[in-house]
A and B are shown apart, each in its own frame.
Chain A
Amino acid sequence: MSIELSQDVIELLNDRDTIKVLASVDGNGVPHAVFKQSLHLGEDGRIHSLELIESSTTGRNLVGSIWFERKVTILLRGTDKRSVQIKGRVLKYHITGPLYLHHYNAVRERLGDVDLAGVWVIEPEQVIEQSFKDRRATEDAAHPSFIHLDRIAAH
Chain B
Amino acid sequence: MVALLKPRYREESSFEDTLAAHPDFPRLVALKIDVQRRGVFYTPRAEAAVDPAIHQLRSPYIFGSRDGVIKPLPESLLLRDGSTILVDPTPLEQAPYTVDYRDGRFVLLDEGRELEEVDLWPKPAYYDKQTSTGLPMSHIISARPQRLNVFQSSFCYFWAENEGCRFCDIVTHTKQQRDELGVPNRLRPQDVKETLAEAIKEPGRFTNLCLTAGSVIKGKEIFDLEVDFYIELLQAIGENFTTKKFPSQLIGSAFNERQLRRLYEETGLSSYTSDLEVLNEELFNWICPGKAKHIGYKGWRDRLIGAVDIFGRGNVGTGIVGGVEMAQPLGFKSEKDALESTLSEAEYLAERGVTTVYIAWVPRPGSAFAGQKAPSLDYFIRLARGLQDLRIKYGLSVDFDDYRRCGNHPDTDLARI
Contact = CB atoms under 8 A, between A and B. Distances in A.
A82 interface: no
Contacts of A64: 417
Interface stretch (A5-13, A71-79, A92-100, A136-144): A92-100
A68 interface: yes
Contacts of B404: 54, 95
A16 interface: no
Nearest to A68: B26
Nearest to A115: B204
B180 interface: no
A66 B116 CA distance: 13
A33 interface: no
B81 A63 contact: yes
Contact of A96 (B27, B29, B145): B145
B80 A91 contact: yes
Given A67-B29, A105-B203, A108-B203, A94 B122 contact: no
A27 interface: yes
Contacts of B82: 92-95, 118
A52 interface: no
B145 A95 contact: yes
Interface string B26-70: 111100000000000000000000000000000000000000000
Which of A26, A60, A61, A68 is most buried by chain B, counting CB atoms within 10 A of its CB? A68
A116 B203 CA distance: 10
A105 B78 CA distance: 22
Contacts of B78: 95-96
Contact of A60 (B27, B29, B146, B416): B416
Interface in B141-196: 145-146
A101 B146 CA distance: 12
Interface string A29-68: 0000000000000000000000000100000110110111
A92 B82 CA distance: 7
B352 interface: no
Interface residues of B, number: 19
Given A67-B29, A95-B145, A104-B204, A27 B119 contact: no
B385 interface: no
Contacts of A94: 82
Interface in B108-132: 119, 121-122
B205 interface: yes
Nearest to B205: A96
B122 A97 contact: yes
Contact of B26 (A54, A67, A98, A100): A67
A80 B404 CA distance: 42
Given A66-B80, A93-B81, A100-B204, A27 B145 contact: no
Nearest to B121: A96
Nearest to A98: B122
A49 B41 CA distance: 34
A66 B145 CA distance: 20
A93 B204 contact: no
Nearest to B397: A55
Contacts of A101: 203-205
A97 B119 contact: yes
Given A64-B417, A96-B122, A116 B204 contact: yes
Interface in A85-140: 91-98, 100-101, 104-105, 108, 116, 118
A54 B121 CA distance: 21
Most chain B beta carbons < 10 A, residue from A92, A95, A97, A105: A95
Contacts of B416: 60, 63
A60 B417 contact: yes
Nearest to B144: A96
Contacts of A63: 81, 416-417
A63 B79 CA distance: 12
Contacts of A54: 404
A96 B28 CA distance: 18
Given A93-B82, A98-B122, A105-B204, A67 B27 contact: yes
A67 B203 contact: no
A61 B121 CA distance: 25
Contacts of A104: 203-204
A66 B28 contact: yes
Given A26-B417, A67-B81, A92-B80, 9 more contacts: A54-B404, A60-B416, A66-B81, A67-B26, A67-B27, A91-B80, A95-B145, A95-B404, A116-B204
25 contacts: A54-B404, A61-B417, A63-B81, A63-B416, A66-B28, A67-B27, A67-B29, A67-B417, A92-B81, A92-B82, A93-B80, A93-B81, A93-B82, A95-B78, A95-B146, A95-B404, A97-B119, A98-B122, A100-B204, A101-B203, A101-B204, A105-B203, A108-B203, A116-B204, A118-B82
* Leading 6 A-B pairs by shortest Cβ distance: A104-B204, A67-B26, A93-B82, A95-B82, A92-B80, A96-B145
